[in-house]
Structure 1
């Protein structure tokens, strides 16, 4: 299985790219549906992805009923993928027929309806009843008039932990008992202090504070933006609480100071450099890839706060594509109920179709690598308990600013108060 490096990285979006996008995008747009394929015509559809979405077996299945369709993946790193798409939309050249967009960026692209085909043109409004309501809403243009993306997955949260390291620290290892250690984030930090006091050689309690912050904010009623698209972090007590608690991890010496998806972070999985990590469903596949020799050492417990979301994507059709009808049919296939279930079982990405959550094949799904943890049940319950949050148009940029601030504290360059003051100033520059 190829590494699933597609959901955790903090998105980077430069001011120059955003200026380019803003200048190039307009409202409305034409309603053309591209060039109709001739009977028997060979068609190549490109699909732009960030990392492995687990689609390759599905393409082979699709060819059985669509022999004239060739599907070619164009895979780049998370940040490069989204930044490149911004530039390609602005210059009206270079976009794939189908583009994947992660939730941190979705509002950036749904704000440009003139750049994408409305999937309603191809009858895909029929899929609305399949989806979690909030997941469907994320794929709509502002005001809901156009359907711009169909969801692939959601990133329901859990906490993955190393049983062997917990045992060395004198902590419980049973997943139910472990979940009982941290019903709240404050208790999670207290558990971390107990772990640190045991001086387990070569291991810290958590990889870094960034995704802990993101998880806490994602559990709040209001996140980085309010419903009127105003950045709220200076007046949102839940954001400040998440900031303070995340920095407590750093100040208590509980972090391994490993930036997500850096080579040292990848190596840290195999070396057992940290005992816990925020674990959206898709992360299970990544852990299994990076820590091949650690089968049975990892397990999964519920996350402090009980639920949350980190990641998830949509598939969209840029108007640069010449065969949108065929591309829309492929999106419909890739996101179908059966195929979302298949990809979950093979790759770990959790479905965005709630009727699957009570399906016995999902409820009873386990992974031997994680000690036969009831992965399907854990992530189904997390998804059911999830309360959606409004995402603003520059969500990705705000997260980068905050992540940089947490990094400065972790690196000893600023105190938490100094870093927070700079974060507030830097966020003011985001318009």
Structure 2
């Protein structure tokens, strides 16, 4: 099970947003030259991203405004694979791009070698540091006070549901009524699973695609997740996590999970054939849902909608940063590009393409986010940007330790597969996860 964010990209940014980018300028950073030459020398900037970040049209805009710059972009399918790529090149001391996208889940590992990244304060960051929500800026600041990353998106979560499936089960289909069905502002996992039982009793079908994404959300909702804020592990003996695991495993054992493989939904077929009817959706996941449905031949009439509710309250899944490794031969130009890709207009445009909810505060109220776009049209004209802004309230960044992604994918991944497949009960699967934790993290 991989719980890295996003899969493949889709769609194109709205032309109005693209023109707005040209009109508003390209960077809040300094325009001074790097040590490689003058600011007008022809150069190539390499960029490595992952999943769906919505940057393709933005690259074109930047190249048009900077005729001397060519952008060579590499996009890796998942955050987990991007982490492996980064680690391999970082260990080799060569091969890293000028701009490296870093996922929240492995930011802590990056921070352990933060001296391998440029301090963006030396390249214009002090002029634009008020762009971001406070906690996003703090996440990318190392122990020496060096800012090594510009925030792209954050991942507040709402609930995707299928109206057609809900109607077949006799459940409400209006998104406000659906939010109320799950408890509104006081929605709980108990209530979510209870509605799931109603749905299964009426249709005989599963309620969610697999247990891993739910578990990820449950962990992210805690004040402290797999690590305490002091950097110590927080899994074995954690009564809160164990209680949540017991609830999840019981719901899964009752048939609420469709036992899908994470990130593999049969080329989208499971999103169109009623295999499951609810899906946890941080903003960037909306783009994934749309892409999956489209890949399977579906469209807006397939019935997916988006409600302003989430079991257990506010949760954040994912969020990325753009960094400039010290291997870059063009650190100033790379920092300028990163600043452009994370300005308000660019983040608003990326949202329209990929659902990546902006970490820049001004972008969160931009009409490109709050108004009609391809995502809102697909989700039954849901005000997706407005909903995500509401879901972002109360979200506080959770400390992610150096092996956070390892614990999620390699420790609890097998345990999730065991409960989804019925090969182990919840208690056995939890104990198996603790065994893996000791092998892969504690005693590595």
Same fold (TM over 0.5): yes
Q: Is the 8 A contact 2:352 2:368 kept in 1?
A: no
**Pairs within 5 Å for 1:293-304:** 293-296=298-301, 297-301=303-307, 302-304=309-311
| Aligned residue number for residue 97 of structure 2 | 96
Partner residue of 2:140?
Answer: 139
2:422 is matched with which residue: 390, 408, 412?
A: 412
Aligned counterparts of 1:252 and 1:39: Cα–Cα separation in 2: 63
- Using the TM superposition, give the Cα deviation of residue 49 of structure 1 relative to its aligned residue in structure 2, in angstroms: 1.2
The offset of 1:267, in angstroms, is 2.5
Stretch moving more, 330-339 or 40-49:
40-49
Task: Report if aligned partners of 1:6, 1:52 keep a CA contact under 8 Å in 2.
Answer: no
Cα gap change, 1:360/1:80 in structure 2, threshold over 3 Å: closer, same or farther?
closer
- Report what 1:17 is aligned to: none
**Distance across 1 between alignment mates of 2:366 and 2:44:** 35
Q: Deviations over 1:5-51 (max 9, x none)?
A: 97158xxxxxxxxxxxxxxxxxxxxxxx9633235321111101112
Match of 1:151 in 2: 151
1:345 is displaced (CA, Å) by 1.8
In the superposition, relative to structure 1, how do residues 144 and 188 fare at CA in structure 2: closer, same or farther (>3 Å)?
farther
Q: Distance in 2 between matches of 1:210 and 1:44?
A: 40
Q: Which runs of 5+ in 2 are unaligned?
A: 8-32
Q: In structure 2, the residue corresponding to 1:198 is in which secondary structure?
A: helix
**2:203 paired residue number:** 199
Q: CA deviation at 1:127?
A: 2.6
Paired residues in the alignment total 401
Distance across 1 between alignment mates of 2:344 and 2:222: 29
Cα deviation 1:200-219 (Å, max 9, x = unaligned): 5xx42100011111111211
User: 1:50, 1:76 within 8 Å by CA — same for their partners in 2?
Assistant: yes
SS at match of 2:244: helix
Structure 2 Cα separation of the partners of residues 59 and 215 of structure 1: 32
Q: Which residue of 2 aligns with 1:244?
A: 246
Residue 423 (structure 1) aligned with residue 433 (structure 2)? yes
Equivalent residues of 2:50, 2:82 under 8 A apart:
yes
- For residue 7 of structure 1, give the secondary structure of its aligned residue in structure 2: coil
- Counterpart of 1:228 in 2: which secondary structure? coil
Q: What is the match of residue 58 of structure 2?
A: 58
Q: Given that residues 224 and 239 in structure 1 are in contact (C-alpha distance below 8 angstroms), is that contact kept between their aligned partners in structure 2?
A: no
Question: 253, 261, 264: which one pairs with 2:263?
Answer: 261
**Alignment partner of 2:397 out of 385, 388, 398:** 388
> Structure 1 residues 106, 346: closer, same or farther in 2, change over 3 A?
same
2:222 to 205, 216, 220: 220
What do the CA deviations read for 1:221-274 (whole angstroms, capped 9, x no partner)? Answer: 111111111111123333222212221231110111112212527321132311
Verify the 8 A CA contact 2:6 2:284 in the aligned structure 1: no
Q: Distance in 1 between matches of 2:366 and 2:97?
A: 34
CA contact (8 A) 1:217 1:238 kept: no
Which gives a bigger RCO, structure 1 or 2 (Cα 8 Å, sep 6+)? 2
- Structure 1: unaligned runs, 5 residues or longer: 10-32
Map of 1:184 onto structure 2: 188
Q: Between 377-386 and 158-167, report the one with greater CA deviation.
A: 377-386
* Structure 2 counterpart of 1:377: 386
Question: Is the contact made by 1:8 and 1:311 (CA closer than 8 Å) also made in structure 2?
Answer: no
Q: Indicate the residue corresponding to 1:68 in structure 2.
A: 68
2:312 pairs, out of 299, 305, 312, with 305
1:397 aligns with 2:398: no
| Aligned twin of 2:5 | 7
In 2, the alpha carbon distance for the partners of 1:336 and 1:387 equals 22
CA contact (8 A) 2:52 2:284 kept: no
TM, length-normalised to structure 1: 0.88
Q: Which residue of structure 2 lines up, in the alignment, with residue 286 of structure 1?
A: 288
Secondary structure of the structure 2 residue equivalent to 1:205: coil
